[in-house]
Each structure stands twice: as C-alpha cells, then as structure tokens.
Homo-oligomer: A and B are copies of this chain.
Amino acid sequence: MITIKELASICGVSISTVSRAMNGREDVNPETRKAVQNAAKKYGYVPNTAARNLKRPPSRTIAVIVQGETSPLLMQGLVKLDESLRTEGYEAILCHVSDRRANVATIENLIVGGHYSGAIFLGRYGDDDGVQATELSKSLARMKVPLVFCTTKDFSGSSLRHPSVSVDDVGGSIRVTKHLIEQGHTRIGFALINPHVPPESEHVWMLRFQGFKRALREHGIEPDPDLEIVAVDHSQPYSMANAYASTMHWLESRSHDYTAIVSSCDAVAVGVIRALNDEGIRVPEMVSVTGFDGLDFGRYANPSLTTLIQPIDLIAKYTVSSLLKAIAGDSPTPPHHAVEGEFYLGESTAPLSRDGD
C-alpha cells in the first residue's frame, strides 16, 4: 500500500494535487487528474481512510453493532435499518463483535475510530448478567454518541438511558398464550428457561416467560413449574438443537400432563415440535405449540407455526427516527418504544380435543 507522498513523486506533482485529483475535484487540470487517477489504479493507491477521517467532518454513517449470535431476524432488521437510513441520507455499516465477552473498549474503539454519526445496537449486547451492557451504555452516554437500542432495551437503568425500540415481548407472549387458553388449553408449558436467572432480568426469553405466566394467571391458571422446559445448555437459549435436546430430556424425565407449549421463539418451537414428533406426540393433534418472531422457517415448516410476527420494518423505522432525533440533539425521545406484534395463526395449534389421551 503506497502513500500519497509516493504517488505524488511518481506523478511529479505535489501531494495537494494528488489529494484533489483523488477526490475528483474540479479545480485540477483534467489531464493531471486523469494521470493521477490512472497512476493510483496502477500502483494500487487508495487514500488511507483513517488519515482522511482525521481531517474530514464526520461521515453520515451509522455503526450498527451486533454482538454474539446473529439470527435471521437481526439480519432482516439490518436490511430494514439500512433502507430507512438510506432514505435519510445516511449509510449503515454493520460491526459484528463475535466474542460475547468482548470488552467495552473494543466497542468504544470501533465507534470512536469510525467517524460515525451515531450507533445502533442490534440485538442483545453484553454478558449474561448485563454488567458489560450497563458499563458500555454509560460510557457511550459520556462520550455523547447518539445511540439507540434496537430489538432490545438499554440495560443501564440509569438516568443516562438511551432510547430503545423493540417488539412488546410481554404483550406478545400474553397474546399468544391467550390464544391457547381460548382454544381450551389449561395445562400449558413453556420452553426454554433458565431457572438461575432472576425474573426481573430483561432477557427476551424472560420477558416472554413473564408474559406467559401473566396470561395464565389472568385466566385463573396457576403456572406449573413442572411444565417449564429447562434448557440443557444455558448458553444457547434460542437454539433449535438445544430446544430439541432439552425437550427430549424433559419428556424422558417423567410423564407430564399438558396439552400445549409456548416457546420463547420460532427456533425453539421447531426444536420442541421435532422432539414431540420423535416421541410419537403429534402436533397439533395431541399437543399445540406456539413460536415467537414470525420467521420464514416457521412459516414454511410442517406444521407451520402459530406465532407472533415481529414487525421488524416498523421497529427499524422507529429506531432510525429516534436516532435522527438524538443526532439532531432534539428533545429526549421516550426511553422505550414497544411495538405491537402481529398474531399469526399457523397449523401448530388446535382447539383442545375432548378425547384426552
């Protein structure tokens, strides 16, 4: 990688001229410009972005930060965010941090170095106890980086709260559970949970679990801990494979008296259904199962999933408008915007049959 200096001496001009030519400015002799550009191509010269950013005003680019596992939903969200930002004259760039234990500094560096106008956190950030998420949220507030949480909440819990947008997890779970109750089910289980996590944690599965229990209680049904399918592997609360294994384990441990299972997400529902199938329990004839998210693989599955569709385009739209307000330094947006999900009736649920097996 050669530098502007080397290219300048190759072309026999000053670095100012090279810079102008590379930026396609009008105030250069067209021939000179062409010559420089050709030389750049020939020698593989590309202006160093880092150096460039030092002088230029912040670009209209937004860092979208995803940490840990991605999911089709987040990827859909990314596309929608990108679209929304684009219509506002911004660009999105995804920064994925694989390591769930990535320290706060990694993210900070990403944001500070990148010359972004703002940042969006897509999906959950931080370790499981939320300590890192809190620290990061505070730190970014001090740095005065415009920031919005998308699909998740700000865990900092302080007065520094950044705005956030996500589906109404609790309400959505209530909606889905109610459907089962309306269909006559009363013995309803939930998959997947981790009993070691405190109920006030804001994990997505926990919010949905809380909604599930609330719906039951509202209908006078006391949740039965025996019908909670505990994850075999607590590090993978949303994995099909883990849902399958956990359900198998639950089924083997003893015989349960249930007619429906609410799942924390579509992936878990697919794993649950497959496990039931493998044990000869047919869905929805013998047991009804619901999902949450509204992903393609649930829609085209057999049976297709009764689920709650996340209006990801709306979520993205609200996220972007919150962010733009933050960038403009406008009045504080509401701390959290919960978007209603859309109930979808699939084939994985059916009215309680009276023949009781």
On A, residues with C-beta under 8 Å from B are: 1, 41-44, 46-54, 69-70, 72, 75, 78-79, 82, 92-99, 105, 108-110, 112-115, 139, 141-145, 239-241, 244, 267, 270-271, 273-274, 277, 296-297, 299-304
Contacts and interface: CB of A to CB of B under 8 A. Distances in A.
Interface of A is mostly: helix
A95 B97 CA distance: 10
B78 A98 contact: yes
A258 to B, nearest CB: 20
Nearest to A70: B75
Contacts of A70: 70, 75
A54 B51 CA distance: 7
Contact of A139 (B44, B94, B110, B113): B44
Contact of A297 (B97, B139, B240): B240
B113 A52 contact: yes
Contacts of A72: 72
A327 to B, nearest CB: 14
A291 to B, nearest CB: 12
What 8 A-B pairs come out closest when comparing CB atoms? A49-B113, A44-B142, A94-B96, A50-B50, A44-B143, A297-B297, A82-B98, A274-B300
A323 B154 CA distance: 38
B95 A95 contact: yes
8 contacts: A41-B139, A44-B139, A44-B141, A47-B112, A49-B109, A69-B75, A82-B98, A82-B99
Contacts of A108: 46
A300 B240 contact: yes
